[in-house]
Chains A and B, each alone.
Chain A
Amino acid sequence: MNFKSIYKLGSPPLFYKLCIALEPWFLISSILLIAVGMYSGLFVAPPDDEMGDAFRIIYFHVPSAYVSMMAYVYMGAAAIIGLIWRSNVAFSLAKSCAPIGASFTFLALVTGMLWGKPMWGTAWVWDARLTSELILLFLYLAYMMLHLSIPDRAKADRSASLLAIVGMVNIPIIHYSVVWWNTLHQASTISKFAKPSIATEMLWPLIIMILAYTLLFAAFLSKRTAAELAVREKRTRWIQTLILGDKSNA
């Protein structure tokens, strides 16, 4: 194991270059996979027995929901690393995760509502999954607002990271409290996937789409992180030479 290369990632110039180098690859592969996944999801996969063609929104809904949660875990992990090692790179990553994750959460909520309207007859049900997704959106918003409101960036980074970690601990508690609250009282109303385990020809486009969305997230994240790092390091020599060429020497 070469731990030295991991430590090196903490250096802003190196991470910046890595982000810039990887971003097009993430983006291209994600676009290709989305094309494949959309085609096979929308045309190749057979229509569902009960839901007909309406189920096909699953290929957009589930990947966004998956990425929205993954982004939060990622943000929390970056926040922990940032708090322990006071790493500028980790804080930039955490800060960049928030708006992207919030967008995917919003997307998951919207597609879920669009799906719910014809299927359940209502766009919104107070079930655990929907509620925790909504709370996730608010946690992202709280993180971003807290970061924006504190003028000193170093303090903003650390305070917001603390909030991200607390939120990460709390999401499962919130989720299960809604689950238990439902099971305590109501007879199960509508469960989202009554899981007649999904057919293979429906499943593999879904997996492709999840992979594609993950890569899309990676592409957005590397772009944002690179920009964030560039702003943070704007006074240093390396970014000036990288962006302005050698003019700054003159």
Chain B
Amino acid sequence: MIDVLRIVFLRDLKVSLRRWTDVLTSLILFVLVSLVFPLTLGNDSTMLLKIVGPVMLVSALLANLLAMQNIFRPDVINGSLEQLTLSSYPLTWIICTKIFSFWLITSLPLLLISGFIASSYYVTGNSILIVILTLLLSTPSLVHISALAAALTVAIRYPGALMALIIIPLSLPIMIFGSKAIEFSISGIDVSAPLYFLLGMMFFTCSLGPIVTASAIRISID
């Protein structure tokens, strides 16, 4: 089984890297959305420090939404996901692997770039690390929620708006505590409480998410 998962993992990485424009588009969206705020608000550092948390999380959510529309669709169209569903290997683990490789491709660059964006919002010192850590803890949950939405809407031709309608209410707790963590670290309060919550949500979504997503895929495909 490990072999199969490794093959799926490497294949997905390879496929995503070949479709690098998709990956780049979502990354550019992340940068652009977070650029809009300093440009429209004006160069007011106290204001920017106040909104950096929500901005980071919302940009990550939007970038994620854009990228995740393509997590299952091409594989459903070319039939490979159907073969994986029919195979004797547990679909939950295969989905889990796919999500993980997708997270590596779409969210990891976002984490790397978020530090620079945070510093353009006049975030300094340790808080930059907290911004990155917050995104590190919240993007897995976001990816799992989006994967579920993508799996539910895989049979629909233009799923974008519907995916947003599903994802945003479900990811609200992550948005709230992610923004709180960044806000706390900037105003010098202990950040461990929101980070623990994010960690808990991450375990929750990573453990139950693939099971639900796999059954959604089974429903959509058969």
CB contacts (< 8 Å) of B156 on chain A: these are: 149-150
CB contacts (< 8 Å) of B180 on chain A: these are: 181, 184-185
* Bound CA–CA A140/B212 (angstroms): 19
- Within the complex, which residue of A146, A152, A170, A177 is in contact with B162, where a contact is CB–CB below 8 Å? A146
Q: Do A178 and B216 have beta carbons less than 8 Å apart?
A: no
Instruction: Check: A173 CB closer than 8 A to any chain B CB.
Output: yes
For A139, A163, A178, which residue has the most chain B Cβ atoms within 10 angstroms? A163
Q: Do B193 and A184 have beta carbons less than 8 Å apart?
A: yes
CB contacts (< 8 Å) of A151 on chain B: these are: 155
Known contacts A152-B155, A163-B152; A174 and B165 CB within 8 A of each other: no
Q: How many residues of B contact A (CB 8 A)?
A: 26
CB contacts (< 8 Å) of A146 on chain B: these are: 152-153, 162, 166
User: CB within 8 Å of A: which of B187-210?
Assistant: 193-194, 197, 201
Q: Do B169 and A177 have beta carbons less than 8 Å apart?
A: no
CB contacts (< 8 Å) of A135 on chain B: these are: 169, 172
Known contacts A162-B212, A177-B177; A150 and B170 CB within 8 A of each other: no
- Within the complex, which residue of B153, B170, B194 is in contact with A170, where a contact is CB–CB below 8 Å? B170
* A127 to B: closest C-beta gap in Å: 13
Known contacts A146-B166, A181-B177, A185-B180; A155 and B172 CB within 8 A of each other: no
* Bound CA–CA A135/B171 (angstroms): 11
Task: Give 1 or 0 for each of A163-188: 1 = CB within 8 Å of chain B CB.
Answer: 10011001001100110110011000
Closest residue of A by beta carbon distance from B222? A155
Instruction: Check: A141 CB closer than 8 A to any chain B CB.
Output: yes
Closest residue of A by beta carbon distance from B166? A142
Interface size class of A (residues with CB under 8 A): 20 to 34
Q: Do B219 and A174 have beta carbons less than 8 Å apart?
A: no
Instruction: Check: B47 CB closer than 8 A to any chain A CB.
Output: no
Q: Do B152 and A159 have beta carbons less than 8 Å apart?
A: yes
Instruction: Check: B215 CB closer than 8 A to any chain A CB.
Output: yes
Instruction: Check: A129 CB closer than 8 A to any chain B CB.
Output: no
Instruction: Check: A57 CB closer than 8 A to any chain B CB.
Output: no
Known contacts A166-B148, A184-B180; A145 and B165 CB within 8 A of each other: yes
CB contacts (< 8 Å) of B193 on chain A: these are: 184
Q: Do B169 and A155 have beta carbons less than 8 Å apart?
A: no
* B187 to A: closest C-beta gap in Å: 10
User: CB within 8 Å of B: which of A45-101?
Assistant: none
CB contacts (< 8 Å) of A173 on chain B: these are: 173, 201
Q: Do B176 and A162 have beta carbons less than 8 Å apart?
A: no
Q: Do A150 and B155 have beta carbons less than 8 Å apart?
A: yes
User: CB within 8 Å of B: which of A125-143?
Assistant: 135, 138-139, 141-142
Known pairs A159-B152, A166-B148, A166-B212. 4 more at Cβ < 8 A? A146-B153, A149-B156, A162-B216, A184-B180
